[in-house]
Structure 1
Amino acid sequence: MPLNLRPMTQEDLSEVQRIQARITRQPVPQPWMDMLAEHVDNTYRLGYVAEESGAVLGFILGEIKIGGFGTELSGWLELVGVEPNHMGSGMGAALVEALFNALRERGVQEIYTAVRWDSGDMLAFFKKLGFDQSAFINLRLKD
């Protein structure tokens, strides 16, 4: 059965939680679930899932920022997750394309994401999708 990409619904949240827990190998905290729920039926916070044979196997979260970080309108890829035994299948790239299409339909021309420099696999994934360094510098304040 072919891969089906669609907007995330409330009914998908527990499956997305399961995938995230498998990826991180730890329980998903309630604040993360609260954040996740904000990506359902929201104009500026987008969520999509990938399903195959009715099973949710991947997800992606994005956001539209208006006037943020010196840009008039920008899209942000916040998080992408794929069931570990399906990584490398092209599902992540398909989810990214679905998010990009939705952002472009809403007038977004610049899309950003962030990745740790020591996360070689994710850095390679994003570079393969066409991402490169931007003019932004990540800053951190730690208490």
Structure 2
Amino acid sequence: MSVWMSDVPGEKGGPMNESTIKIRLMKADDFDSVVRIDRKVLNASRTEYYQLKFEKLFSRDYLPVSLVAEDKDGAVVGFVMGELYMGEFGIFQEEASLDTIGVDPDFQHQGIGEQLINEFVDHLKTIGVQKINTLVDWNNSSLIHFFSANRFSPSKTINLERVL
């Protein structure tokens, strides 16, 4: 069963290549499309990463929050993946993470990423989430700009690492 979240015209309300984008909850059947888009964006295969993500996201223990964007023909052209934070003893916290977003390069710069973010935010608000976190490579200025344009800002926490 498909749950349509919205029918979104192209950026700024105008036509997007004479088509309409539909945003819906991600299904397990979307695996191949997500992997295909990610491979086109990164020029590398992360199939194992997505196998683990899908296994986790579609287990009975997770509320569905990940979304896909479909074109007028029903082809998946973008996605956003995230999850809710669970606190101690499985108690729901009012925070979520956005850990992966991708838009097919043939459909980029048409407002699809922004629409995915907006629907993701709206969906999370309806289930009580008050803050969304994401991590971005410091050197990826285009992704930092994308998130900044979508009202993300630096958080009060700093991601530290230790090289071994």
Output the TM-score relative to the length of structure 1. Answer: 0.88
| Uncovered stretches (5+) of structure 2, i.e. residues with no partner | 1-18
8 Å CA contact 1:75–1:112 kept in 2: the answer is yes
| Structure 1 residue aligned with 2:35 | 17
Correspondence 1:73-88 to 2 at 5 A = 73-88=94-109
| Structure 2 residue aligned with 1:59 | 79
SS state at 1:60 partner:
strand
Correspondence 1:1-143 to 2 at 5 A = 1-40=19-58, 43-44=62-63, 46-52=65-71, 53-67=73-87, 72-143=93-164
8 Å CA contact 2:103–2:112 kept in 1: the answer is yes
8 Å CA contact 1:7–1:48 kept in 2: the answer is yes
Q: Letter of the aligned partner of 1:123 in structure 2?
A: I
Q: Structure 1 CA distance, aligned partners of 2:57 and 2:114?
A: 19
> Radius of gyration: which is bigger?
2
Structure 1 residues 31 and 123, CA, compared in 2 at 3 Å: closer, same or farther? closer
Q: CA deviation at 1:96?
A: 0.7
SS state at 1:137 partner:
coil
Q: Structure 1 CA distance, aligned partners of 2:66 and 2:53?
A: 11
**Aligned residue pairs: how many?**
141
Output the TM-score relative to the length of structure 2. Answer: 0.78
Q: Structure 2 CA distance, aligned partners of 1:102 and 1:138?
A: 27
Root mean square deviation of aligned Cα: 2.0
Q: CA deviation at 1:44?
A: 4.1
Q: Structure 2 CA distance, aligned partners of 1:54 and 1:25?
A: 24
| Uncovered stretches (5+) of structure 1, i.e. residues with no partner | none
Q: CA deviation at 1:62?
A: 1.0
Q: CA deviation at 1:45?
A: 5.7
Give 4+ residue runs of structure 1 displaced > 3 Å after superposition: 40-45
Q: CA deviation at 1:58?
A: 0.3
Q: Letter of the aligned partner of 1:3 in structure 2?
A: I
Q: Structure 1 CA distance, aligned partners of 2:66 and 2:134?
A: 15
